[in-house]
Structures are given as C-alpha cells and as structure tokens.
Amino acid sequence: MRAATLTLCLLVAPAAALAQERDSDALDRAVVLFEESETLYNQGEFEQAAALLRRAYALHADATLLFNLARALEGAGDLDGAIDAYARYLQDAPDARDRGAVEARLTTLRAQRDALAQPAVVEPEEPHPVEAPTEPERPVEVAPWIVLGAGVAVVGVGVALGVVSQDLGARAAAERAQVDAVALHADAETYAIAADVLFVVGGLAAAAGLVWGIVSLTSGGDDEPSAELRVGPGSVAVAGRF
C-alpha cells in the first residue's frame, strides 16, 4: 500500500508542475497582448486594441482586462460591446473601488443606446409664409439674414464644444487612473453630443436663411409674394420663384 501511494505522488507532482508552467506562459502572453493593446489604444486604433484584449482575457481572466476592453469598445463606437464588458467587469470585481463610477457610466451608455435606437420625434409646425412687398423697389428683408447669422453663430458654438470634447477624449486616453478616465470619457461624450446637435441645428438655420435671403432678393416685382419659409419635422425649407 505504501509503494502504491508513493508511485501516485510521483506521477501527480510533475503534472502539477506542468500545469503551473502552462499558467505562467499564458500569463506572460496575456501581459504582452495587454501592452500591445495599450499602444494601439493610445494611437486611436480602438478595434484592434479590443481584439488583443479579448485574446489576453482568454489567456488570463483578469477583471482589469475587461475594464480596458470596455474602454476600447466604447472608443470604437460599439455601445453594446462596451456595456457588456463593463457589466462583466463589475461581476468579476465586486469589490472594485471604481464600482460607482462604472455603474454611472453604464447608465449613460444604456441611455445613449436607447436614444439611438429610437428616432427623435419633432412636433410638426404650421408653415410660416413670409410675404414679400409687391412694389418694384422694396427694402431688403432683414429676417433671412438674421436667421443666417444665428445659424452661423450656433455652428461656431458647436465647433467650440467639439474642440473641448476632443481635448477631454485625449486626456481620458492618457489618464492612467480608471475613475478619472471614466469621468473624462463621460464629459467628452456629453460635449460631443451637444456639438453634434448644434452643428445640425445651426447648419439647417444657416442654409435656410441663405436660401431664403436669395429667394427674397430675386423674387419678381409685380408678382405675388413668392418667398416662403417652411418648418417641418426635422427639416427647414424655403420655397419660392426666381
């Protein structure tokens, strides 16, 4: 009986050592993949960074890799993937110090995903015709140029917010602290969304004001008023005769 026990121990010991060696090799490969993904992330190659992080996690299931995977997917615009990675990170690291910040980020990403899934509903408005004077010599209408100027001003504000968003995104990419990186990413996304909205609204207003002004200047003298501004769901249009 003792001889059989000794033989069994001699067989198990090399097997355990081999398994430990394999685990060490997997960890080394995972570290190399993580370092390569960090370089790609800082270069803005988010999809490639995410692919390397998935491979690293398959070799060594560390929760930190899931957090970095979520950041890479978020940078690539994959909201569903980022949400899943953040949720798995919280599941694998229940005592994480940044749990509150990550949960807040999850709430923001889910709201953004739901907003993108449902098109914005804009209440239709009644057309507002703008009558042009019928006299051959008539004063230039001021309203179109006011609309044009306001649209350009709104676009300018959007450009400023876009610059702020890019700066925050760059700072988040360079930030080593997870909590600070998440907060900076959230701020960058907020400014980016505001900039996009202002670009659309300002661009539509400026285009409508310009076309409206041209129609107003070139409409015929004795004809009936031919310039008309029409505001509808998600669009601004000007109709008229040249």
Query: CA-CA distance, 140 to 142, in Å (whole number)?
Result: 6
Residue of 14, 204, 222, 206 lying closest to 135 (CA atoms): 222
Do residues 111 and 164 both lie within one domain? Answer: no
Fill in the DSSP letter of residue 123.
-
Rounded alpha-carbon distances, angstroms, from residue 5 to 15, 16, 66: 16, 17, 43
pTM of the full predicted structure?
A: 0.43
CA angle 95, 181, 27 (to 5 degrees): 60
Per-residue confidence (pLDDT) for residue 216, from 0 to 100 = 66
Q: Is 154 a member of any domain?
A: yes
Do residues 83 and 33 both lie within one domain? Answer: yes
Per-residue confidence (pLDDT) for residue 158, from 0 to 100 = 72
Do residues 107 and 196 both lie within one domain? Answer: no
Q: What is the pLDDT of residues 167-194, one digit of tens each?
A: 877 776 776 667 676 776 788 788 788 8
Place 11 in a pLDDT band, splitting at 50, 70 and 90: very low
Name every residue whose Cβ is closer than 8 Å to that of residue 168 and which is 6 or more positions away in sequence. 184, 185, 187, 188, 191
Is pLDDT above 60 for 10? no
Q: What is the pLDDT of residues 80-107, one digit of tens each?
A: 999 999 999 999 988 989 999 999 999 9
CATH number of the domain within which 16 lies: 1.25.40.10
Query: CA-CA distance, 223 to 238, in Å (whole number)?
Result: 18
Mean pLDDT score across all residues of the chain: 75
Q: Is 20 a member of any domain?
A: yes
Query: CA-CA distance, 10 to 145, in Å (whole number)?
Result: 91
Q: Is 122 a member of any domain?
A: no
Q: What is the pLDDT of residues 54-66, one digit of tens each?
A: 999 999 989 899 9
Do residues 55 and 22 both lie within one domain? Answer: yes
Number of independent structural domains in the chain: 2
Do residues 110 and 146 both lie within one domain? Answer: no
Boundaries of domain holding 202: 128-239
